[in-house]
Amino acid sequence: MNEPALNRISVIVGGYGSGKTEVAINLSLLKRARSAASTPVELIDLDIVNPYFRSRDQALELSKRNVDIVAPAAWIRHADLPALPAAVSGSIYSREKQVVIDVGGDPAGATALGRYSREIVAEQHDVLMVVNPYRPHTQTVKEVLVLQKLIEEKSRLKVTAFVNNANLMSFTELAHLERGRRLLDELYAETGIPTAFTCCVPSLMPAVNEKWPASAVLPLYLTTDFL
């Protein structure tokens, strides 16, 4: 298995139901595993859109694994308010930190990210667009490109790579990941934007490694079912 190549700041964007938050959580765990114990790893929760599954709701579990959450204060933790802490800018500027930013779904969520676009562009960063072709509005190249354009306009950042997160939750099989790979190959042909990695649960890792031995893979050790 090849691990994803990541810059210091990893920004995770995508549509509703794409699995952005799961990707953000597991990327933060990967950065934790790669980093020295003294290196802070932070997961910044900018998801002010989706009230159902947000990374800050998993703060306790992540803190046990030495990943810090930067998010609105506890008293507004379950309120969808654009009350974003000043610590976000500090995390972006602090070059000794490894940072993952979980952005709310679709253009509305990307607007919050736009506040920090200048700071992010000045640092080594990735903007990773998570694609699940089994969700509405990201099933074709045209649909993904429309969403990509809207997210880029609102966030004032350019997508640097796509993420194959094709899944049907617990019913996911290798064939579903193959469909996602085909879609992202078509996107690469259209845009020149590469695939950063494929996501899969540990039970599918042997099949994925056999099918695509040279591809980067992100194991989803923590999922919504677990959390």
How much is the average pLDDT of 24-44? 96
How high is the pLDDT of residue 149?
96
Band (201; pLDDT cuts 50, 70, 90): very high
Task: Give the tens place of pLDDT for each residue, 154-180.
Answer: 999 999 999 999 999 989 999 999 999
Percent pLDDT > 70 in the chain is: 87
Angstrom CA distances, 95 to 7, 10, 27, 172, stand at: 11, 13, 18, 38
Q: Among 214, 107, 104, 89, which residue's Cα sits nearest to residue 156?
A: 107
Q: Which residue has the higher pLDDT, 50 or 48?
A: 48
Percent pLDDT > 90 in the chain is: 70
First and final C-alpha spacing in the chain = 25
Q: Among 62, 80, 64, which residue's Cα sits nearest to residue 72?
A: 80
CA distance 162 to 14: 9
How high is the pLDDT of residue 48?
67
What structural domains and CATH numbers belong to the chain? Answer: 9-219 (3.40.50.300)
What pTM does this model have?
A: 0.91
CA distance 90 to 79: 23
- Mean pLDDT across the chain: 88
Q: Show Cβ contacts of residue 66 under 8 Å, excluding neighbours closer than 6 positions.
A: 32, 37, 41
**Three-state secondary structure string covering the chain:** CECCCCCCEEEEEECCCCCHHHHHHHHHHHHHHHCCCCCCEEEEEECCCCCCCCHHHHHHHHHHCCCEEECCCHHHCCCCCCCCCCHHHHHHHCCCCEEEEEECCHHHHHHHHHCCHHHHHCCCEEEEEEECCCCCCCCCHHHHHHHHHHHHHHHCCCCCEEEECCCCHHHCCHHHHHHHHHHHHHHHHHHCCCEEEEEECHHHHHHHHHHCCCCEEEECCCCCCCC
Angstrom CA distances, 186 to 13, 115, 142, 179, 192, stand at: 19, 32, 10, 11, 10
CA distance 16 to 104: 8
